[in-house]
Amino acid sequence: MEKSKKLTKVTVHAGHNKSGRIGAGTSAYLNESTEARKICRKVIRLLRKNKIKAYNCTVNNGKSQLDILQKICRKCNAKNRQLDISIHFNASSLSPADNYTKGTEVLVQNPAGIRGNLGNEICKQISNIGFQNRGVKSNTRLYFLNHTNKPAILIEVCFVDDEDDAKLYKKHRKDVAAAIVKAIINYNQTL
């Protein structure tokens, strides 16, 4: 069982290649690659402002989806840190406005310990903005979650193909980044 410690060093990255390149993620009402980078940079700035060392492990030059993931994991594993955070945006099917968001979720390999505790706090904080809270979900098939040597979480901020998610996100982009950081600070305060 992993021992819980305050988070003082983390990696954060946008989970896909740069927009316009192979493996750049999806887009519809939002562009995943572009928006994940915006959130990543803001989260890192806010973490550093709160005395938490944060390394940007985003990859912009992957030659394939696997190459991107391998490079991200190598960058993360090369850092002295306690947690790896991947920023993504979800997608399912194009949904016009219906006054209902599809919402936010956090994917983890195993919900025990820091992964589940912090994941739930992140979902709670992002859902306070108005997104549906889809909660923490176990996923043992994702390369990133299986190839870091520290606990890892993958944040699906909202859905790029849901018009309500996109409108809410655009109105509260800065709040989303702040919600992620607030969740980390709240997690630290429980220890």
Contact 74, 144 (CB under 8 A): no
Q: Tens-digit pLDDT profile for the chain (191 aa)?
A: 455 789 999 999 999 888 888 888 899 999 999 999 999 999 999 999 999 999 999 999 999 999 999 999 999 999 999 999 999 999 999 999 999 999 999 999 999 999 999 999 999 999 999 999 999 999 999 999 999 999 999 999 999 999 999 999 999 999 999 999 999 999 999 98
What's residue 19's pLDDT?
Answer: 86
- The runs of H, that is alpha helices, within 57-162 are 65-77, 113-127, 143-147
Q: What are phi and psi of 47, to 5 degrees?
A: -60, -45
What's residue 112's pLDDT?
Answer: 93
What's residue 2's pLDDT?
Answer: 53
Contact 89, 135 (CB under 8 A): no
CA atoms of 71 and 57, how far apart (whole Å): 9
10 Å CB burial of residue 20 (0-12, 13-18, 19+) is: exposed
Q: What is the pTM of this model?
A: 0.96
CA gyration radius, the chain: 15
Domain range 9-189, CATH class: alpha beta
Q: Which of 31, 80, 86, 82 is nearest to 58 (CA)?
A: 86
What's residue 1's pLDDT?
Answer: 45
**What is the number of residues in the chain?**
191
Q: Which of 150, 157, 154, 143 is nearest to 71 (CA)?
A: 143
Contact 184, 7 (CB under 8 A): yes
What's residue 3's pLDDT?
Answer: 59
Contact 183, 121 (CB under 8 A): yes
What's residue 90's pLDDT?
Answer: 96
